[in-house]
Amino acid sequence: MSNANTNVLTLDDFDLEGKTVFVRADMNSSIDPKTGRVMDTSRIAEAAVTLRDLVRSKVVVASHQGRVGGYDYVSLEQHARILEEYLGRPVKFVDDVMGRAALQEIRSLREGEVLVLDNLRFAAEENFEFTIEEAMRTHFVRRLSTVIDFCVLDAFPTAHRAHPSIVGFAKVKPTLAGRLVMKELKSLRKIQSVMKAPFVTVLGGAKVRDRLEAMEALIQGGKADKILLTGLIALVFLKAVGKIKGKLNVQNEDQMVEKARSIYQKYDDRFELPEDLAIERNGERVELPVSSVEDPTQVKDIGHATVRKYVRLIKSAGTVFVSGPPGVFEDDRFSFGTYEILQATASSFGITIVSGGHLNAALQKLKIRDWIDYVSTAGGALVMYLAGKKMPMFEALSVSYETWSKDSRRAGGS
């Protein structure tokens, strides 16, 4: 498989004591649209694992948060404070990414200190994808490479994106895999060796563009015999096939609906759509057949008939993959779909994989996390990996191995 390259350098291959180490983490978290505060800290907790191993280095932590123009496109200052709690030691923050202030703070770091840069996507280049050669020439890489000695890639959820912070340092500085990336790779290889058909995928959540990309990749990669649609992506497909009308309030809605229509026409036998949906009426949960839903923006969950149909398919699967919650499970009135799908997955005899921070939180609440074979905070990256797509992060680590392994401890035979 193209992703299974063992030729990667890790933290153990170099002496990092006293060195300035740039750590590309993924602390991209769900944000409360009303308050702008971080709602789920699981990715920040994961970022702390590698940082604990770098106590004798000067550490620069970088992450993106949200997408330009979104309500979750916020500063990383609160992430730095949360990281401080997980690490149990002071964490500095600079409201700059690659300007004079950031470079000055990096230069003045002392051994054992940790500095968090502001949201990487505040730098224009971090919103685009590049080849390794192009990324090397970005202002981002050229500036930061003057003040760092090593790059550590620990952002598994962003492994499928070729942003400068992911692929740009591979030939410029020794680029190593962090602890989280190595843990994910090890677990995934184990899971992949036992995955078996039929493959049933349950897709939910609110990231429509990502879900459309994911389902095509999974179908083409032979990893989706059935796709059970829930959440906002289900509404997009229901609109695409003419089963519901009305605005969905989805970004680029017409384009997304058209894309869904073309995927459905090509692979209609792979898809299962909801039969009933739950809306809120006078403060109560009310379930309606799909044909009776007048305003799709009121939909908060899938209904009982849909859950029964989906649970049957999950129970008969050889491998079950669940990504994104079927409903607004944080509200007890609309947690039914999410909890039933997760309970069915946990008790399935098939290989089970659950991805995404929201579902992680739901599994913890249900106390069934240990019943799932593989749980990851990664969403799109995990899908692309399972579908056998090339992953820019792993390509960068492979190029770094070819470029820098001769300088590592391995080369010295130690």
The predicted-structure confidence for 125-138, as pLDDT tens digits, reads as follows: 999 999 999 999 99
Q: What is the pLDDT of residues 249-289, one digit of tens each?
A: 888 999 999 999 999 999 999 999 999 999 999 999 999 99
Label the pairing between strands 271-272 and 226-229. Answer: parallel
In a shared domain, residues 154 and 206:
no
Q: Is residue 114 part of a domain?
A: yes
Q: Is the pLDDT of residue 1 over 80?
A: no
Confidence of residue 388 (pLDDT cuts 50, 70, 90): confident
Tell me which residue of 314, 176, 315, 294 sits closest to 245, measured CA to CA. 294
Using a 10 angstrom Cβ sphere, with 0-12 exposed, 13-18 middle and 19 or more buried, the burial of residue 168 is: buried
What local confidence, expressed as pLDDT, does residue 217 receive?
87
Domain of 307, CATH number, reads 3.40.50.1260
Pair 218, 321 in one domain: yes
Q: Give the relative orientation of helices 77-87 and 42-52 as an angle to the nearest 10 degrees.
A: 60
Between the ranges 215-219, 222-226, 409-413, where is the mean pLDDT highest? 222-226
pLDDT of residue 6: 63
What is the arithmetic mean of pLDDT over 195-201?
Answer: 96
* 302 located within any domain: yes
Condensed to tens digits (0 to 9), the pLDDT of residues 315-368 reads 999 999 999 999 999 899 999 999 999 999 999 999 999 998 788 888 988 999
364: in domain: no
pLDDT in tens, 167-179: 999 999 999 999 9
Q: In what order do the strands lie in the sheet with 299-302?
A: 284-289, 276-281, 299-302
- pLDDT value of residue 76: 98
pLDDT in tens, 295-313: 999 999 999 999 999 999 9
Average pLDDT, integer, range 108-123: 98
Instruction: Tell me what pLDDT residue 192 has.
Output: 87
Q: Is residue 149 part of a domain?
A: yes
230/226 Cα distance (integer angstroms): 13
Domain range for residue 209?
Answer: 197-349
Residues 153 and 264 both lie in one domain: no
pLDDT-based confidence at 412, cuts 50/70/90?
low
- pLDDT level of residue 410 (50, 70, 90 thresholds): confident
47 and 128 housed in the same domain: yes
Within 8 A by CB and 6+ apart from 311, the residues are 340, 341, 344
pLDDT, position 102: 98
Query: Which residue did the predictor score with more confidence, 176 or 410?
Result: 176
**Which pLDDT value is given to residue 373?**
95
CA 344 from centre of chain = 23
Residues 6+ apart with CB under 8 A from 297: 246, 247, 248, 249
How many domains are there within the chain?
2
Together in a domain, 75 and 210: no
Task: With beta carbons less than 8 A apart as the criterion, state whether 31 and 37 touch.
Answer: yes
CA dist., res. 15 & res. 19, Å (int): 8
Give yes or no: residues 291 and 255 share one domain: yes
- Report if residue 372 sits inside a domain: no
What is the three-class DSSP state of 170? coil
Q: Judge whether residue 3 has pLDDT over 60.
A: no
pLDDT tens for each residue of 24-35: 999 999 888 889
Region 51-62: what's the mean pLDDT? Answer: 98
Q: Is residue 376 part of a domain?
A: no
101 and 208: one domain?
no
Cis peptide before 198, with omega less than 30 degrees from 0?
A: yes
Average pLDDT of the chain, as a whole number: 93
pLDDT number for residue 414: 42
